Structure formats: C-alpha cells, structure tokens
Chain A
Amino acid sequence: MPEFTLSFVVGLCFIFSLGLILVNDWRGMMGLLFLQYGIVTLLILESWPLESALIKAVAGWFAVAVLSVSYWSSGGWKVTQDSVQLPNTLFRCLVAVLAALSISSFFPQIMTWFIGATKHQVLGGLLLLGMGLIHLGLAVQSTRIIVSLLTVLSGFEILYATVEASIFLTALLAANHLGLAFLGSYVLNISTLEVRE
C-alpha cells in the first residue's frame, strides 16, 4: 500500500479508537468497532497475505455482530442513550490526545523492538493498545470494558502479526475475540437469565 494511504489508515486508527471512548450511543460504538476491525486488517495486510489477514476481519466482525445482537435482544438500545456532557467529553478527548502524544514521543525507541514491522504497523498497534487501555481505565459498564479489551487485543495483534504467522495462533487469537464477544453477550443478558436451581 502507498505510504500516504498507510498514514491515513493510522490516522483512522486514532479517530475510531477515540470515537469508541467518546460515543455513548451503542449503535455508534458497534459501528466504530466494526470499522476499527477493518483498519486492523489493512495494517496486518502489510505482513500477511490477504486470506490470512481476512481471518482477523471476519472474527472481529463476527464479534461485533454477536455484541450487537445481544445488545438489541437485551433492550439496551433504549436505555443507554446518555446525554452528552461537554466537560466529560473534553476530559476524555484530552486524555486520549495526551496518550497519543506520549505514544508518538516513545515511538522511535519502541520501533527498535519490532524488527521487521513497518512504522505504520507499530504506530497503529501502539495507538490501539494505548487508546484501549485509556478506554479500559475510563469504562465503568461491563460491556464497555469488553469493547476496550477488544481494542487492546486488536492493537496487540497488529504488532504480533509482524512476528508470528502461525495458523494455530491466529485461530486462537480469533477465538479470543469471539470468546470476549460471547462473554459480553452473556454479561448483557445475565440479569435477565432465569434462575432454575
């Protein structure tokens, strides 16, 4: 992929992960997560052939589908339309920008760790890892925590794809995403589950 396109993709990485932190509407959050998995696949495509990289996209999109359906069935669409509070949004924005700035300042040193990876992959991976951790720190709702963990895992996988291309590990990591999504689904519906025993 051309240099400019890759830089644009890294920029999108930041925008989507920031969006995940800021958005309160669940439809928006699932949409951003869906797009984020597309970006992850594009960055992994730098190291892997298309057919292997697509595994990440398929697993991720399936995870988004599982979470969305569960949220829909649990009636969550109706209740979490929180009003947007400006100070809260500004604070989240500021924290995310500070995290991104710290990552970019450490980037040249960290780049030496990842031999064989392109600078876009390292920057994209680190951005998702960092933003995922920020999201994790700010999240209170359990489903938000699941979404932030999925972001952290996505960032990790971009970096890890540059060093390991084993099918077994790819399958395991894909299963990890799906596992987290199913857990998120369980968490969303747990309070409505029938107690039999």
Chain B
Amino acid sequence: MNAPVLWIFLPSLIAFGLLLLSNKPLFIRWMGFSSALFFALLAGILPIDETFSVGPFRGEVRAQLVFFGRRLVLENAERPLLLLVYLLLAFWFLLGIAGSIPSKLYPLGLISIALVVTGYAVEPIYYAAIFFGFLSMLSVILLSPSGVSLTSGALRFLVYQVLGTICILFAAWLLSWVDLETVDKALIQRTMVLMGLGFSFLLGIFPFTSWISMTAEENPPFPVAFIFFFYINGVLLFALKYLSQSHWVLEWVDALGVVQWVGFMMIVIGGVSAIFVTHVGRMMGVGVIVELGRSLVAFSLQPNGIQVYFAMLVIQGLGLGIWSFALSSFQKKVEVLDYPHLEGLAWKAPITSLGLLCGIFTLAGLPLAGGFPLHWALGTMLQENPSWSGGWFFIGNLGLLVGGIRTLSILSGRSGKRFESEEPLGVKTAAILLICLILLATGLVPHLLLGWVSPLRSILQF
C-alpha cells in the first residue's frame, strides 16, 4: 500500500461512488463525514515507510507512488498535515450536516481535498498548478447551485485560476533554464515575476483580489467559505513548498521579504475594506483577504511563524466555518445578506447572530477569542522589523473589529424591539454554541493548540 493511494486515490474513489448516489442525500452526508474522519484517523495511527502490525498482520505504507514517470510522495513527517487537513474536512462536513447544506458538497469536497493533497505531494512540484486548475473547475460547480445561473465572481475565479496555472508552468520551465554556475540575473528576475504573477492569480493577491469579495457576495456562503478555506490554504502550501524547493533562488531574490510585503498589503486592503462593506457575505471575503495576508506574514517569519500559521489554520477553519454557517442560516430567512435586510435580526435569531459575531471577532483577533493569542504572537515576532510593520499588521484586526461592531449594531437594530426568538433549540443552535465555546477555549489556552500543531513546524522551512 502507498500513502498517495490511501490519502488521494481512495478518497477520490469514495467520492465518485457518492456522486452516483445523488438520490440519497442523507447517506452521502454521513458517508462523506465518516470518510473524512476515517482518513484523519489513518493519518493519525498509520506510520509511513515503517512496518506496523495489526494483530497477526504486518504491513508497510510506502511514501512514494510512481505514476506515468512522475512521483507522488507523502513522507512520514507530513502525516500531521494529513491529519489536520482531514480533521478540518470532517469538521466542515459535520457543520454541513447540521446546516443541511446541499449534498454535492460532500463528494466534491472529498475530491477537492484529494486534489489539494495531490498538489502537495506531486513531484516535480510545479505540476501542482494543473491540479489546482482542476480544483478550480470543481469549485465553480460547487459554487453554483442547481437552477441558478453562474455568477460573474465564479467565472472570474475560473479565469484567474487558468491564467495562474499557465504563468506557473511557464515560470517553472524558465527556472529549469537557470544555470547555477553562470547565473543570469535577468532570467531569474523574469522567472520570479512570472511565478509571482501566477501565484497572485491563484491566491487572489492584489490586483487580482476581486473574485474573493465577488464570490463571497454572490454565491451561497457555506460552499464559498469552504472553497476559500481549502483552496487558498492549499495553494499557499503549494507556493511555499515550491519556494522551499527552489531555495537557491532566495540567494538572489529576497523572496521572504516580498512575501511579507505582499502579506502586509493584503492585510491593509482587507482591513480598510472591512470598515466600509455593508454586506456580511462580502465581509467574509474581506476577512479571508486579511487572513491570507496574515498567513503570508506568518510564512515570512521563518521558522517560528510556520507553527503560528498552522495554529491559525485551525482557528481560521473554525471561524470561517461558524461565520458561513450563520450566514447560510440567515440567507434562508432574508435571502439578501446586506445590512438593511439584517437589521434587528438578533432579536429573532440570537444564537445565529452570536455565531456570526463570534466568527467575525475571532478573525478580528478580539481578546479572549481564538485568534487573539496567535495574532499577538505574530505581532511580537514582528518586533525585529521596522515599527510601522506592526502597525500595518494590526490594521487588519482593527478593520475587522470595526466591521464586527457595525454588524453587531445592525443585528441588534435601532428601534427598541422586543425579544421574540423564532429560533428553535436544535442541532443548528447546539453546533453554533459548541463552536463558540471551542473558539473561546482556544483563546484561553492557546499553548495547547500551538503544542498540537508543533510537529508541523519542521515542514516547509527554508
């Protein structure tokens, strides 16, 4: 047995099986969730490239699979990453079950994660660009509910991803021409510009940011957040692995410095936008832009920033999950998620409103919320940088905080309405309350989370 077969082909196979059972949505949902949990469990217990025994049986999971002359490699050191990814997938699937999200999320979600893992495992790494191209096509299907026309945001997302794939393949090819002994600086610069352009397209970095807020406004919130979370973080991991494998380039170009600058730029753009947006779906997109910026800053702060990034990934998953879950619930009530339609809704749906605010304030890094200690840690790491960098970093938090407060004031309404909750206590409200508690707990004991993700510190270091 090979690790790529276990964590790439098997999930895809299950997903294709589920696609054939479209008339049994409940089965698809629970099967999708159990599969994600099963693969997380496997990642937790099965060592790679080491012999293990189950009763009388002895076996070994090999790290490598050769496929048409190319390799898919998942090392033992990367098992914690697999565990984290599949656990987060299981969390999103469980949330989807609680929120009765359309069942196509489950098979397509499983295939998406298999593609993300393939993108991370494939060698040479630049082939990953094509897998992310496939993932973007799947994402467009996921973003488009049946019976509704495709939105312009989803189309723009697709166009940017295809163009990004092309740029990265070109850059990889140019990189292969670089001779280490007689270095052609112009060629390296050309390569880096193409690579930067490619990743800017894929990640939605300025000036290609528009698809993030457009899709967040026009499409169903839960699938949008799912794609934002898994797609963007998948591409981030691919980008960092790509950069870490071409580390000799860092001798000629200050790539980490550029990554940090881009991170600050995204934080400032997101933070300032958060103050002005009047659509909570769009604000979620803005939150994703800020989080993307923070992730880039965390990556640039090698080596400790990596651990904080993975801890942020958990918080981001929980925060975006509850945010989009609450928005989905609101969308069923009011259809349009702009401020005028949401006014006074906290009196009718207090727990969903609490979930929405919890999601916003977690990503805003409000003290006691899950994001706060991690943002604080990153801010502390920036002490060695010029003083303005810390200020830029907290613009994102400030912007989201202002956005959160505005949302709170809109939800609570201007007139003195009477409290008449129309929200039945059930699975949805229990899920929201539970996630709020988890986010609060991670804010109180962040060292537990940081300790849990510490095995991931060793991967992706330059």
| Chain A interface residues toward B at CB < 8 A | 113, 115, 136, 142, 145, 149, 152-153, 156, 160, 163-164, 166-169, 171-173, 175-176, 179-180, 182-183, 186-187, 190-197
Contact = CB atoms under 8 A, between A and B. Distances in A.
Nearest to A145: B155
Nearest to B141: A186
B173 interface: yes
Contact of B103 (A113, A153, A156, A197): A197
Where chain B touches its partner, the secondary structure class is: helix
A171 B68 contact: yes
A163 B166 contact: no
Q: Which 7 A-B pairs have the closest CB atoms?
A: A168-B68, A193-B146, A195-B147, A172-B130, A168-B70, A179-B137, A156-B166
Nearest to B147: A195
A168 B69 CA distance: 7
A196 B22 contact: yes
A195 B22 CA distance: 12
A167 B70 CA distance: 10
Nearest to B133: A176
A152 B163 CA distance: 8
28 contacts: A115-B177, A142-B149, A142-B150, A149-B159, A152-B163, A152-B166, A153-B162, A153-B166, A156-B166, A156-B169, A160-B173, A163-B173, A166-B70, A168-B127, A172-B131, A176-B130, A183-B137, A183-B140, A186-B141, A186-B144, A187-B140, A187-B144, A193-B146, A193-B147, A194-B147, A196-B22, A196-B146, A197-B100
Contacts of A156: 166, 169-170
Given A153-B166, A190-B146, A197-B25, A136 B69 contact: no
Nearest to B151: A142
Contacts of A160: 169-170, 173
Given A153-B166, A168-B67, A183-B158, 5 more contacts: A142-B150, A160-B173, A176-B133, A179-B137, A180-B137
A168 B100 CA distance: 39
Contact of A149 (B69, B144, B145, B162): B162
B148 interface: yes
A190 B70 contact: no
Given A160-B173, A183-B158, A190-B150, A195 B145 contact: yes
A192 B140 CA distance: 17
Residue picked from B146, B170, B174, most chain A C-beta under 10 Å? B146
B134 interface: yes
Nearest to A182: B137
Given A145-B155, A164-B173, A173-B130, A187 B166 contact: no
A133 B423 CA distance: 50
A171 B68 CA distance: 10
A111 to B, nearest CB: 15
B157 to A, nearest CB: 11
Interface string B292-318: 000000000000000000000000000
A145 B162 CA distance: 11
Contacts of B68: 166-168, 171
A132 B155 CA distance: 16
